[in-house]
Amino acid sequence: MGKKGSATQNPQTPRGPETPRGPQTPRGPQTPRTPRGPWAKEQRIDPTDGHRLTWEELNQKYFMQYHHVQIRHYWYNECRPVPKAAAKASVKPQGEAAAKAKADLEAAVKAKIEQHAAAKAQAEQEVAAKANAAEEAEAKAKVVVAAANAKAKAEVATTKAHTEMEAAAKTAEISASKEKAEAASAEEVKAPEALRPSFMVWLADFVSHFCNRSCGRARAKQDKAGEGPLRQHPEQIVGA
């Protein structure tokens, strides 16, 4: 079946496995007229899908794909008339069928829109959740970094204070040792001066005592020497 506008160039479109079955180009020079009047409500079976369609419905179905001549030829030559008993049992009013088709189309469009909206909302929720997770992770990382920095600063301050205390203690210890050494030196210098009076007193007592003994012995010797001649015999004295 050829496309629209190719009826004069290609009288008959070959059917292939990929070409759907549809209206064919008429073979003869004359083409039946479009059904009008009561015949316009007649239903025929479309061999392509087996649906029951009126001429208007068939025309609306294929007018975007085939030429109107092809559609008329397909209607009269390919589509089978519906048996009257089946037509009476199954045919519904055209308005009701159109309303049902319109309602089905609107429901399908609405479902499609709702599905798209739900997918969009879900995608937005996922993006928001990822953004919130990223913000929470960043906030936690900042808190961890701040805590680590505070801890490092506290440790540095503690170490510095400890070092300063040790330095101050060593300085105080050195100063105390120096003062103690200076005081000991001063005491050592002052000690002889403090002992000098006592030493002089002791020396005077010692000299006095020594002199008294020495002088007493000297006097005793002198006295004894003076008394010696008197105690000699006259003969010794004369002879002397």
Is it the case that residue 13 has pLDDT exceeding 50?
no
Give the residue ranges of DSSP H helices in the chain.
Answer: 55-62, 68-77, 84-90, 94-231, 234-239
Structure tokens at 38: 């009561």
State pLDDT tens for residues 147-200.
999 999 999 998 899 889 999 898 888 988 888 888 877 776 666 666 677 778
Span 215-230, mean pLDDT? 64
Residue 92 has which token pair? Answer: 């519904």
More confident residue, 183 or 5: 183
CA distances for 236 relative to 26, 106, 174, angstroms: 212, 187, 88
* Range name among 18-22, 78-82, 117-121, 225-229 with the lowest pLDDT average: 18-22
Q: How far is CA 92 from the centre of its chain?
A: 66
**Integer Cα distance of 220 and 69 in angstroms:** 190
CA distance linking residue 139 with residue 129, whole number of Å: 15
Radius of gyration of the chain (CA): 73
How far apart CA 1 and CA 230 sit, in angstroms, is 198
Q: How confident is the model at residue 117 (pLDDT cuts 50, 70, 90)?
A: very high
Beta-bridge partner residues of 98 = none
What pTM does this model have? 0.30
CA distances from 225 to 151, 211, 217 (A): 106, 20, 12
pLDDT at 6: 43
Token pair belonging to 34? 């479009």
What is the CB neighbour count within 10 angstroms for residue 188?
9
Cβ 35 vs Cβ 72: under 8 Å: no
| For residue 207, pLDDT beyond 90 | no
Q: Is 52 exposed, middle or buried (0-12, 13-18, 19+ CB in 10 A)?
A: middle
DSSP strand pairing (80-81 vs 52-54) = unpaired
pLDDT tens figures, 90-106: 545 556 776 787 788 78
Task: Measure the CA–CA gap between 69 and 9, rounded to whole angstroms.
Answer: 13
Within 8 A by CB and 6+ apart from 68, the residues are 34, 59
DSSP state of 54: E
